[in-house]
Amino acid sequence: MSPHKLLILIVLPIFISCMRSSTTLKNGDLLFFKPQESVMEQAISSSTGEGFVHVAIVEVDEGKCIWVIDATPQKGVGRIPLKKKLSEEKGEDVYVYRLRDTSGLGASVRKAKSLVGKSYDWHFSQDNDQYYCSELVCVCYTRPDSKRIFSNSPMNFLDKDGQLPVFWKELFENLDIPVPQGQDGTNPEDLSHSSELINTGIRP
């Protein structure tokens, strides 16, 4: 096989996998995910309400390919084609939110892209250069004057009955740290209610 044909075979699947209509999704949009059945997602849902358990950043590159940048327990901060992300999260409801003021979003997406490879923040700390999903969004989304767009709020790990779900209990015991209940942080459900965002009604 000629080198030219081999290059086509290597590049074509990547090109196809990143293709998606760019007429609806825009650079800097946020994807909010409702839960599947994972233990962690159930724990998040029980602590933050029956809503969103994950948030991801949309990147539309110069070639109009659409990528997703997000922080997951499995991979830390990663970047994959939208089509692959939706395939991995098959069964989850996905909603597209957009900032009312989109100025400076290019810089926000570039910041998120620069953090690809960072570890997942199991400690839910604000100053360890590790990131959970909504923390990544809050850190990266800033105005041209560097002011953060989204505010933090006290974190809650307790369920509606005031009990600590087993997942959180075992996690923080294994990390040998106190439960960061009430400390500054963020979560996808609270983030989705920000007055800075609108629900586009788009379902990718």
Which runs of consecutive H residues, i.e. helices, occur in the chain? 3-18, 39-48, 82-88, 105-114, 133-140, 166-175, 188-192
pLDDT beneath 50, residues of the chain = 3, 5-12, 14-17, 21-22
pTM of the model: 0.85
Q: Using CA atoms, how far apart are residues 175 and 51, in angstroms rounded to an integer?
A: 27
Q: What is the residue range of 115's domain?
A: 3-199
Q: Using CA atoms, how far apart are residues 77 and 92, in angstroms rounded to an integer?
A: 20
Size (the chain), residues: 204
Q: For the segment 107-166, what is each residue's pLDDT rounded down to a tens digit? A: 999 999 999 999 999 999 999 999 999 999 999 999 988 899 999 999 999 988 999 999
Residue 137 lies in a domain: yes
Residue 51 lies in a domain: yes
Residue 175 lies in a domain: yes
Residue 204 lies in a domain: no
Residue 195 lies in a domain: yes
Number of domains composing the chain: 1
Residue 21 lies in a domain: yes
CB 191 within 8 A of CB 93: no
Residue 130 belongs to domain with CATH number: 3.90.1720.10
